[in-house]
Amino acid sequence: VQLQASGGGLVQPGGSLRLSCAASGSIFSINVMGWYRQAPGKQRELVASMPTRGRTNYADSAKGRFTISRDDAKNTVYLQMNSLKPEDTAVYYCDAVVSRFQGDPGYVYWGQGTLVTVSS
């Protein structure tokens, strides 16, 4: 299973970006897809996660500005980021809990990361 993230880049404060992450390979089902980020010198932190069933979860810093969504037909998760701030600068990683066959409880796979830089 591979996750390919894209959509990062340089954006001015107040701007928007949309990240995408597509999962491919031997996939029976995807239980959760989400986004994390890691700023320089800081630990990786959850941004948002979206289970197949259940409640979408956002970090406090993302609430009201970021929106996570999924296209299960494409095994893809998106992160729409609006009103970006310099403190949103980080490498953004997608993850997915993937079951490769029926009865498989699932394993966490990570994308390679995409850099988001918010600066004027």
What's the chain's average pLDDT? Answer: 96
Residue 6: how many CB atoms within 10 A of its CB?
14
| pLDDT score, position 54 | 86
Low-confidence spans in the chain with pLDDT less than 50: none
Q: Could you tell me if 108 and 97 are in contact, meaning their C-beta atoms sit under 8 angstroms apart?
A: yes
Q: Which residues make beta-bridge pairs with 37? A: 45, 92
Tokens of 109: 């796979």
